[in-house]
Amino acid sequence: MPDRSLDSLSSEFKPLAFEWIARVTTRGIPVMIIQTSRTQAEHQVNLLNGTSGTSLSLHLPRKMRWPMDQVLLPSEREKSDALDLAPYDHYQLHGPDKLQWDTTDPAWGVIGEEAERLGLRWGGRWLKPFDPGHGELVLPWKAHYLAEERSRRWPTFA
């Protein structure tokens, strides 16, 4: 079963995750937390089925993706910097299988708008895989992606 605990998030990302969920629900979109952190084995499955496109997912614990010379507090070594959400009604219909969700639903746009207002990197701007429920902390080594992704046309929702 995927980890859905907000306590699995880094101290930098956790307050933003709470705010993101609060803003989306305030706008009338109840959400389900799909995943916070994941194991390497879970990530391998996601790479194989096409629901992840990077070997250094921010869902992985920091100790697995930060440079060895980076100093991490012991309390942060097991923490992740990404969160996957889904509109609750989509989760009710299809469970956690992202490939079954109707990603043309305008609810995904609300999720993306609020992620970007908080300065998060939003998976709805990605080309492959398109991941409109994904939000992640913008870490220094991924910051260069942000400008290019935000220059893309906003996804079309029904």
Q: Is residue 1 part of a domain?
A: no
Q: What is the pLDDT of residues 14-23, one digit of tens each?
A: 999 999 999 9
Q: Is residue 19 part of a domain?
A: yes
Q: What is the pLDDT of residues 73-123, one digit of tens each?
A: 888 889 999 999 999 999 999 988 888 889 999 999 999 999 999 999 999
Q: Is residue 155 part of a domain?
A: no
Q: Is residue 54 part of a domain?
A: yes
Q: Is residue 158 part of a domain?
A: no
Distance in angstroms between the alpha carbons of the first and the last residue of the chain = 31
Q: Is residue 26 part of a domain?
A: yes
Q: At what angle do helices 107-117 and 14-26 cross, to 10 degrees?
A: 140
Closest CA to 82 of 42, 48, 49: 42
Number of compact structural domains in the chain: 1
- Residue 81 belongs to domain spanning: 6-150
CATH number at residue 132: 3.30.1380
Q: Is residue 82 part of a domain?
A: yes
